[in-house]
Amino acid sequence: MIENRPVSTAVSHLVLLAGVAIVLFPIWITIVAASHDVARLLEVPLPLGLGDQFFENLKQVVSTGVEGSTPIGIMLFNSLVMALMIAFGKITISLLSAYAIVYFDFRFRMLFFWMIFLTLMLPVEVRILPTYEVVAQLGMLDTYWGLTIPLIASATATFMFRQTFLSVPDELLEAARIDGAGPMQFFFDILIPVSRTSIAAMFVILFIYGWNQYLWPLLITTDKSMVTIVMSIKGMMEALEETPKWHHIMMTALLAMIPPVLVVIGMQKLFVKGLTETEK
Amino acid sequence: MSHILLKGVEKIYPNGYQAIHGVDLEIEEGEFIVLVGPSGCGKSTLLRMVAGLETITSGEVHIAGRKVNDLEPSQRDIAMVFQNYALYPHMTVYKNMAYGLKNLGTAKDEINRRVGDVAKLLELEDLMQRKPKQLSGGQRQRVAMGRAIVRKPAAFLFDEPLSNLDAKLRVQMRLVIKNLQARLGTTTLYVTHDQVEAMTMADRLLVLNAGIVEQIGTPMDLYERPQTRFVAGFIGSPAMNFVEVKLSDDGSKFHIGDNALPLNKALDTSQSEITFGFRPEHLVLDDHGIIPLKIALIEHLGAESIIHAKLNNSDDKSSNAITLRLNGHTKEQNGNIVRASIAPEHYHFFNQKSGHRIRS
Amino acid sequence: MLKQVHFKSSALPYMLVAPQIIITLVFFMWPASQAIYQSLLIEDAFGLSSQFVWFDNFKELFEDDRYIKTFGRTLFFSAMVAMLSLSVSLVLAAMADRVIRGTGIYRTLLIWPYAVAPVIAGALWVFLFYPTTGIISTFLTSMGYEWNHQLKGNQAMFLVVIAAAWKQISYNFLFFLAGMQSIPKSLIEAAAIDAAGPLKRFWTIIFPLITPTTFFLLVVNIVYAFFETFGIIHVVTKGGPANATEILVFKVYNDGFVGLDLGGSAAQSVILMILVIGMTIFQFKFIERKVEY
């Protein structure tokens, strides 16, 4: 703070508090709705404070599930598998290809680079139908592979690791070569440990990306045992007209939100660093 | 037999730029050789070619009797200390030093013993479990040297290892390195742009300018008998004074402006327009001196005084700046007109075109 | 791009890029070329026969009033989302940059929406605005404003804009704050000595200096609104009422998977690809330029 202005500082805090209140209002209401029974949620005015049905609702959603849908446990498991496979898969193949492109001079290097670059431009939403057909032809519908592999090869992580590697001082490689390290030894002994902050940041971004996938799993899965928790919200919302079970919907939404929120907040420092330093 | 041998070594980059022109150098076992020159002269490139970090366009490099042109850096039996130390940031001091030995498949207790010995030698014992980030500049420098020493290589290569340190530490580390090298007796190639560092540390120096070897010799050779005008100007601080002078027809004297200075011996040159060089410390103030000077500025350093002056001549052409170095304090004032003289044994003459030394 | 110090070529680099290149070929290049190929065909709904028609699908699209309208609606939607989200996060970031204590706490609290899936975000906002029982909608009704986004197109649009902008606030806030915090303190101090008050400092020093960040975020927000809001629209309005919230990505999906107009859907995909390639190149150029600074 440049000058001491208690009033303007107070105003800043007030604006921030108001902002936080507005931004977190929907999430608060989610928690509120998850803590009341269904009847209370259909009565106007609606509650703004917590009710006493939270654990009851949680028990219902977890044990019996929402009628007609997959048990919550399986959906959470599916989401976790998908998020982890996408995160680890992307990180692995991106580290390898970024390493090749930054540290090796080989024929077609630029061709490969542009091929990867092109994938950066084609979000799955844009090429959804033909990609679906390819996955169907490969017999990968309703499998974890079909859910994850087509999402693994987007170029974002490759670009981030490329940036990271470019900022590693050349002398480290030279010192390692004098110390007798071959390419793969240098990769595992030096480059990966040196890049661990970027890798961790990328993990956060990709975990959330994977966990929050919606359209792709919606198309790829027909088998109920493959449903993810994020997808399940849609089905419950469809049934809203006949049975407005808001307490279950909001409890499920809460459960779907908690893992990515925990990951973001728990790894906030790394995540912010990774996000803002490499710009997407 | 020489320990490191460079034969006609050249470096031409793919874009056609020639960084190194035919360098020949023989280094005896245990010698401390300094490669010195202004930045961009190719000295680091030359060192990196010896290390195997740059390819050799033509010529040969031999280390300990082996031609190493096509060997990987790790197979050349050398160790290198980098300007920014290049310590592995995620490894402890111990691991940094042990990494190379581990890659060579050295037995664990052998690694332990050797790292321990070197740690004692460099007084790093208390720092072994720290990471580079937790060390001071001087400590990092010592770790970088330790990493080189544990390998027991045939040669040490240093690439401006002291340039990231502050002035005081630099002087200190200069002695440390020199003493260590003398104790270990390992052949050393050391790159610096700092001529004081070069003069104080080297057994022999190689002065490089724009990729061309200007002179190879002991510090005193270079100081007393610089073979080119470049070397003469590069070695010594403050730098040598140069004046363009004219030789008399019979070659018995030369003229600075109006004043004639006699020569004891005839010069070995056919040209009459030559460059006269003399060091600031060889000028003495002398009321009967032949060189008239007008003092522009005096720097009082305590132990010595540096006088910046101009030739005080009737013609404007030769108003060269001249520097004098006097011991102790001087009572002269800015603007004073004084006379100075130089003993003839301190005369240096250079060909104006080629810059080569003219013998007498 | 390539390290000056690098390894010589061998089989290794090819093995290293192989996994990514194979996946790229199978799941990106092939589908993309399929899309381009299909966009030049007319296929009957059962996929039994097809006919090569050159650019007829594209011509048809641009003659189709509904497609043109969808295009315009998408632009409007993106502009609204970007403006709303950017302005709110700019104000919050400016405040968070000013306060000494609590910046970290505010950041932790404002980061939440980033982690929430678009479709979940959509569900939360539907709950708040649900015509008969939503907290906000019933409040509005009691104030005399009739709310029913299931019937009124402009209200539906408003709702999806809010939900989409809300989710993007975290991301924008983080970037704005990082941008402001990277401005040297001495500059702000110099301005204070030059007698510029806080508001003036913001507009004359801080805001101009974060222009690169603002441009970057503008592109990112537009790309986000174009392509990543499918989940929100799908759960909030399904493109309705009467197509009032149908944007381009939604229409590709709708025409392809629901309407089974493969050629038309593919042609729309191709147009979207061209759009996104253009935006990405723009964004990438910007990143590369910024790296040089």
Residue C255 DSSP label = I
- Asked if A128 has any chain C CB less than 8 Å from its own CB, the reply is yes
CB B350 within 8 A of CB B358: yes
Sheet holding B304-311, edge to edge: B283-285, B337-342, B291-300, B304-311, B321-327
| Chain A neighbors of B74, CB-CB under 8 A | 177-181
C243 within a domain of the structure (yes/no) = yes
**Distance, CA of C53 to CA of C70 (rounded, Å):** 24
CATH number at residue C235: 1.10.3720.10
pLDDT at C289 over 60: no
- Averaged over B258-275, what is the pLDDT? 80
pLDDT digits (tens, 9 = 90+) for B50-97: 999 988 999 999 998 899 998 888 889 999 999 989 999 999 999 999
pLDDT surpassing 50 at residue C291: no
| Nearest CA-CA distance, residue A110 and chain C, Å | 10
What DSSP element (H or E) covers C280?
Answer: helix C262-292
Least confident range of A222-226, B258-262, C203-207, C219-223? B258-262
pLDDT-based confidence at residue B311 (cuts at 50, 70, 90): confident
Instruction: Name the 3-class secondary structure at A151.
Output: helix
Q: Are C58 and C39 in contact (CB under 8 A)?
A: yes
Which residue type occupies B74? S
- For A179, the closest of B53, B85, B100 (CB atoms) is B100
Backbone angles phi, psi at B331, to 5 degrees: -95, -5
What's the token pair of residue C123? 């569900």
Q: Give yes or no for a contact between C247 and C70, defined as CB atoms under 8 angstroms apart.
A: yes
Facing residue for B100 by CB, picked from A180, A193, A196: A180
Contact A125 C230 (CB under 8 A): yes
Strand order in the sheet with B212-217: B78-81, B155-159, B187-192, B32-36, B204-209, B212-217
C7 at interface of A, judged by CB pairs closer than 8 A: yes
Give the pLDDT score at B212: 92
Q: What is the mean pLDDT of residues C273-281?
A: 81
Per-residue confidence (pLDDT) for residue A191, from 0 to 100: 94
Q: What is the pLDDT of chain B when averaged over all its residues?
A: 89
Name every chain B residue with its beta carbon within 8 A of the beta carbon of A196: 90
Domain count, chain C: 1
More confident residue, B323 or B258: B323
The pair of three-digit structure tokens given for residue C104, joined into one six-digit string: 């970290």
Is C5 a residue whose pLDDT tops 80?
no
Structural domain includes residue C3: no
Residue C280 inside a domain? The answer is yes
Q: Which chains touch A (3 or more CB pairs under 8 A)?
A: B, C
3-state secondary structure of A180: coil
Residues 60-89 of A with CB under 8 A from C: none
User: Is B204 within 8 Å of B217 (Cβ atoms)?
Assistant: yes
Predicted confidence at residue C10, as pLDDT, reads 81
| Position C22 in a domain | no
**C17 near A96, Cβ under 8 Å?**
yes
Interface residues on A facing B, Cβ-Cβ cutoff 8 A: 169, 171-172, 174-181, 185, 189-190, 193-194, 196
Retrieve residue B160's tokens.
């401006």
Three-state SS string across chain B, please? Answer: CCCEEEEEEEEECCCCCEEEEEEEEEECCCCEEEEECCCCCCHHHHHHHHHCCCCCCEEEEEECCEECCCCCHHHCCEEEECCCCCCCCCCCHHHHHHHHHHHCCCCHHHHHHHHHHHHHHCCCHHHCCCCHHHCCHHHHHHHHHHHHHHCCCCEEEEECCCCCCCHHHHHHHHHHHHHHHHHHCCEEEEEECCHHHHHHHCCEEEEEECCEEEEEECHHHHHHCCCEHHHHHHCCCCCCEEEEEEECCCCCEEEECCEEEECCCCCCCCCCEEEEEECHHHEEECCCCCEEEEEEEEEECCCEEEEEEEECCCCHHHCCEEEEEEECCCCCCCCCEEEEEECHHHCEEEECCCCEECCC
Neighbours of A38 (CB within 10 A): 15
Q: Are strands B4-12 and B58-63 parallel, antiparallel or unpaired?
A: antiparallel
* Range from A73-87, B151-165, C48-62 carrying the lowest mean pLDDT: C48-62
Contacts of C169 in chain A (CB under 8 A): 23
Residues C160-169, mean pLDDT to the nearest whole number: 95
Contact A27 C114 (CB under 8 A): no
Predicted confidence band at C292 (pLDDT cuts at 50, 70, 90)?
very low
- Phi/psi of residue A20, each to 5°? -60, -40
Cα(A23)–Cα(B208) distance, integer angstroms: 66
One CATH from 3.30.300.130, 1.20.1050.10, 1.10.3720.10, 2.40.50.430 for A65-276: 1.10.3720.10
pLDDT of residue B316: 53
Question: Global pTM?
Answer: 0.84
Q: What are phi and psi of A195, to 5 degrees?
A: -95, 15
What Å distances lie between residue C13 and A49, A181, C278, CA to CA? Answer: 59, 16, 30
Residue-level pLDDT at B45: 93
Mutation for A interface: C2, C107, C120, most A CBs within 10 A: C120
Q: Is the pLDDT confidence value at B318 over 60?
A: no
Segment-wise mean pLDDT, segments of 10 residues, chain A, 280 residues = 70 91 92 87 80 85 70 89 94 93 88 81 73 88 88 82 88 91 92 90 91 89 86 81 79 92 90 66
The reply to whether residue B74 touches residue A178, judged by beta carbons under 8 angstroms, is yes
CB contact under 8 A, A181 and B86: no
Report C:32-51 residues touching A (Cβ under 8 A). 32, 34-35, 38
State residue A68's pLDDT score: 61
Lowest-confidence region among A266-270, B139-143, C191-195:
C191-195
Contact A178 B88 (CB under 8 A): no
Q: Tell me how close the Cα of A253 comes to any Cα of chain B, in angstroms.
A: 41
Query: So what's the ipTM on this one?
Result: 0.86
Asked if the C-beta of C215 comes within 8 angstroms of chain A's C-beta atoms, the answer is no
Q: Which residue range forms the structural domain that includes residue C174?
A: 49-292
Distance CA(B218)–CA(B208), nearest Å, equals: 14
Question: Does A100 contact C at CB distance below 8 Å?
Answer: yes
Are the CB atoms for A129 and C256 separated by under 8 Å?
A: yes
Is residue B293 within 8 A of residue B238, CB to CB? The reply is no
Q: Is residue C4 part of a domain?
A: no
Choose between C5 and C271: higher pLDDT: C271
Indicate the domain borders of chain A. Answer: 1-54, 65-276
Query: Which of the four pLDDT bands, split at 50, 70 and 90, describes residue C110?
Result: very high
pLDDT score recorded for residue C293: 33
Residues of chain A with Cβ-Cβ distance to B100 below 8 Å are 178-180
Lowest-pLDDT choice from A117-131, B124-138, B219-233:
A117-131
SS3 state at C246: coil
**Strands B273-278 and B4-12, bridge-based pairing:** unpaired
Residue C86 in domain: yes
Query: Considering the domain boundaries, does residue C31 fall inside one?
Result: no
- Judge: A261–C216 Cβ closer than 8 Å, yes or no: no
Of A256, A234, A236, the C-alpha closest to A244 is A236
Q: Which SS3 state, helix, strand or coil, does residue C102 take?
A: coil
